[in-house]
Amino acid sequence: MTVRVGYLTKRFPRLSETFILDEILGLEAAGVELCLYALGDPGEEIVQPDVARVRSPVVYLHPPGGFRERAAGALAALGAHLRLAVRAPRRYLGVVAYIARKRRHLSTLRHFVEAGRLAVRCSDDGVGHLHAAFAHGPASVAHFVHLLTGLPFSFAAHAKDLYVSAPDLLARKIAAAELVLACSRSVAGELRAIAGTGAAAGTGAAAGTGAGPGKVVLAYHGVDTERFKAAGPGAGAGCGPLRLLAVGRLVEKKGYPVLLEALAIVLQSGRQVTCSIIGSGPRRAQLAEAAERLGIERWVSFLGGRTHEQVASAYRAASIFVQASIVLADGDRDGVPNSLLEAMASGLAVVASDVAGIPEALAPGCGLLVPAGEARALADGLIELCDHPELRSRMGQAARRHVVEHFDRARLAVEVASLFGGGPGGQALAGGRSLASATLAS
């Protein structure tokens, strides 16, 4: 029996969250019947063209618009909560009591209100399983839907959503969930440790289903290896400077100041390079000032946000891909950056920092790993690839083969779909994990 799956994300569609769009498209292609829900609309000017391929319409828990739309949304949420309270008063009051005892925060109340509206919508849509795309807000909402209705749920954890979540609350979510998808081995390890700690502290009993590190399933993001392909022989080479490329939001954990310092070292060494940075974010002005302070503004281009096709074209024109990610003081870090996988699929040699899930993706022979936050080490890696074109070519070819074998979106989507009851051989989640989860847990 197939299950209609509710897929809840934070904001959709977001230009920078291509992995969410890819997962939705992959699940639909693998035969999962999705009902797509989002907490809000990001209202971005640039939208990935592939959003038009998503079959499920998006239902926003906070509809875009002005005062009238917000008021209508508030009335809908109130009506939903009244409906839930009348339908199951003891269950409803139990959830209210849980909030009063354990989670007296403004964000908790907001998630509870959102969950009431989503719970009724899931019931009306015939949803049999709810999946939250992130471990923080979306998973909190999905957890409340479960507590209010008993609807089974799962959630995924990636990077920031894991590290900004309170461990005790995360342990409760894991305890109540059917399964938890982790985008890297490092994230899976953190989740299993939290689940184990929660079980030891009795968190699982409080949540009602028992914690259990065994619920955590490794499920890498995939990339479209047909869209992201290696360019023809000699691409990225020529008489001009070598073209370095970095792709990702202009936020602190991407390590762009380290990249700019490394670029200055490379240029001072006499190597002829340029660097293009694709991505938007709050640190653009600071980074432009840093490039000017280092005297390298002529060789750096900040290109802003770009669509999938534009990014794919940039990979084909580049010589080397750079991933300078760092770990922040609060623990936030990358998982396995999609841009890294896209660059590898495009046949680019890579220099990347050894942060979190990056070493899992960048297998030996596919690129160079350097210590995070060390501009000199990053520069040395770039210089080595600049000076050895045959090494760049060999690593780029190995990177392409590795991604096709281990990170192809279509194949990984079928495996995840089987957990939700879709795809070949999938068994529906109904109080227990699909047998197919064993194939992802290694």
Task: Give per-residue pLDDT as tens, 340-381.
Answer: 999 999 999 999 999 988 999 999 999 999 999 999 999 999
CA–CA distances in Å: residue 143 to residues 16, 236, 307: 26, 48, 33
Cβ-count burial of 390 within 10 angstroms (0-12 exposed, 13-18 middle, 19+ buried)? exposed
Percent of the chain with pLDDT over 90: 70
- Same domain for 416 and 351: no
Q: 28 versus 433: which is more confidently predicted?
A: 28
What is the chain's mean pLDDT, rounded?
A: 88
Rg of the chain, C-alpha, whole Å: 23
Tell me, yes or no, whether 53 lies in a domain. yes
For the ranges 37-46, 202-211, 336-345, 399-408, the lowest mean pLDDT is seen at 202-211
Does residue 227 belong to any structural domain of this protein? no
pLDDT of residue 1: 56
254/367 same-domain check: yes
Q: Does residue 248 share a domain with residue 204?
A: no
Segment 280-297, tens digit of pLDDT: 999 999 999 999 999 999
Q: Are residues 160 and 191 both part of a single domain?
A: yes
Task: Give mean pLDDT, residues 109-132.
Answer: 95
Residues 254 and 126 in one domain: no
Model confidence at 439: pLDDT above 60:
no
By percentage, how much of the chain surpasses pLDDT 70?
Answer: 90
**Cα distance between residue 281 and residue 248, in whole Å:** 9
- The band of 422, judged by pLDDT with boundaries at 50, 70 and 90, is low
- Report the CATH number that the domain containing residue 78 is assigned in CATH: 3.40.50.2000
* Together in a domain, 433 and 364: no
Q: Is residue 233 part of a domain?
A: no
User: 13 and 146 in contact (C-beta within 8 Å)?
Assistant: no
- List pLDDT tens digits, range 193-237: 999 875 544 443 334 444 567 899 999 988 999 999 987 655 545
Do 307 and 426 belong together in one domain? Answer: no
Reported confidence tier of residue 106, pLDDT bands at 50, 70, 90: confident
Residue of higher predicted confidence among 382 and 77: 382
Average pLDDT over residues 129-155: 97
Please tell me whether residues 296 and 370 are part of one structural domain: yes
Please report the pLDDT score of residue 423 as a whole number. Answer: 52
**Bridge partner residues of 154 (DSSP):** 131
CA 186/CA 182 separation, integer angstroms: 9
390 occurs within a structural domain: yes
Considering its fold, how many domains does the chain have in total? 2
433 and 399 fall within a common domain:
no
Q: In this structure, are 48 and 196 located in the same domain?
A: yes
- Asked whether residue 331 carries a pLDDT value surpassing 70, the answer given is yes
SS3 assignment for 128-153:
CEEEECCCCHHHHHHHHHHHHHCCCE
309 and 279 in one domain? Answer: yes
Q: What is the pLDDT of residue 141?
A: 97
Residue 236 included in any domain:
no
Reply yes or no on whether the pLDDT at 433 is more than 80.
Answer: no
235 falls within a domain: no
Range of the domain at 355: 242-406
- Identify whether 234 is part of a domain: no
Mean pLDDT confidence for 422-429:
50
pLDDT at residue number 175? 94
Residue 228 lies in a domain: no
Distance, CA of 334 to CA of 371 (rounded, Å): 14
pLDDT of residue 275: 98
pLDDT given at position 213: 78
More confident residue, 333 or 92: 92
Query: Confidence band (pLDDT; 50, 70, 90) for 256?
Result: very high
Average pLDDT of span 226-251: 81
Q: Are residues 267 and 192 in the same domain?
A: no
pLDDT by residue (tens digit) across 152-189?
Answer: 999 999 988 888 888 999 999 999 999 999 999 989 99
